[in-house]
């Protein structure tokens, strides 16, 4: 981080970050919190508004969609290549997140963020009370990736089905999902030092929301 840590923490005192694994409920909770508290909703990939500022030389991973040969290439990359690209995007996106968050805090509203910041970066710019890590079992994250109505996930599924050998491509992509949702990555987030909330299918979205409200001190904790 090039901006002084204490300054960022003061700027982000009304910002609440949710990170974690796929299928843990991050997107739903960020939306529900923003709606309930009339806050700013920073959904997944919310920095796309700044993509006109990037270029392939300085942000090769974020610009991959401009330089790839086609969707066959995208869905056919090895698990190692996909993971390296994903972490590369997160690192390149960090500066864009800072810029966009500073802009979105200007109105004084609470800001709820589905973030790509790493746990290490979050420790620099925020604190335990403003960060939640939501986790789903690695097997669930991989298996249910395409079972959601998320338009982006369904688009990828369609592109896999359009390849010359959809069955082989899907097998490769599932290997990708297993790698990026590996037990090792799960434990890294679980041991991040932040509040952790694990997926529980017996819990309703409203019950999950209530847990996060108490953790973020948006309501008084009666326990």
Does residue 40 have a pLDDT over 90? yes
Provide the whole-model pTM: 0.89
Q: What are phi and psi of 114, to 5 degrees?
A: -90, 95
Higher per-residue confidence, 5 vs 183: 183
Going 25 to 27 to 28 to 32, the CA torsion angle's sign is positive
Closest CA to 142 of 79, 68, 195: 79
150 vs 23: CA distance, rounded Å: 11
Query: pLDDT averaged over the chain?
Result: 92
Number of H helices, E strands in the chain: 11, 5
What pLDDT score does 223 carry? 53
* Domains of the chain and CATH, by start: 5-213 (3.40.50)
Query: What's the pLDDT tens digit per position in 154-186?
Result: 999 999 999 999 999 999 999 999 999 899 999
What pLDDT score does 153 carry? 86
64 vs 89: CA distance, rounded Å: 9
Going 179 to 184 to 187 to 191, the CA torsion angle's sign is negative
Query: What's the pLDDT tens digit per position in 45-67?
Result: 899 889 999 999 999 999 999 99
Q: How confident is the model at residue 210 (pLDDT cuts 50, 70, 90)?
A: very high
């Amino acid at each position: 981080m090039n901006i002084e840590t204490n300054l960022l923490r003061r700027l982000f005192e009304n910002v609440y970050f949710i990170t974690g694994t796929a299928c843990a409920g991050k997107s739903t909770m960020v939306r529900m919190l923003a709606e309930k508290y009339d806050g700013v909703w920073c959904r997944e990939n919310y920095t796309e508004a700044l993509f006109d500022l990037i270029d392939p030389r300085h942000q090769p991973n974020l610009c991959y969609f401009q330089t790839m040969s086609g969707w066959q290439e995208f869905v056919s990359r090895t698990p190692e290549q996909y993971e390296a690209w994903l972490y590369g995007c997160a690192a390149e996106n960090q500066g864009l997140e800072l810029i966009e968050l500073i802009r979105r805090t200007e109105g004084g509203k609470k800001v709820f963020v589905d973030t790509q910041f790493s746990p290490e970066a979050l420790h620099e710019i925020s604190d335990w009370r403003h960060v939640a890590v939501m986790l789903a079992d690695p097997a669930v994250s991989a298996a249910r990736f395409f079972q959601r109505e998320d338009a982006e996930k369904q688009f990828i599924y369609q592109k896999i089905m359009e390849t010359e050998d959809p069955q082989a491509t899907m097998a490769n992509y599932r290997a990708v999902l297993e790698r990026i949702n590996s037990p090792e990555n799960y434990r890294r987030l679980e041991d991040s030092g932040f509040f952790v909330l694990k997926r529980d299918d017996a819990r309703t979205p409203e019950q999950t929301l209530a847990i996060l409200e108490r953790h973020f001190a948006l309501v008084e904790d009666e326990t």
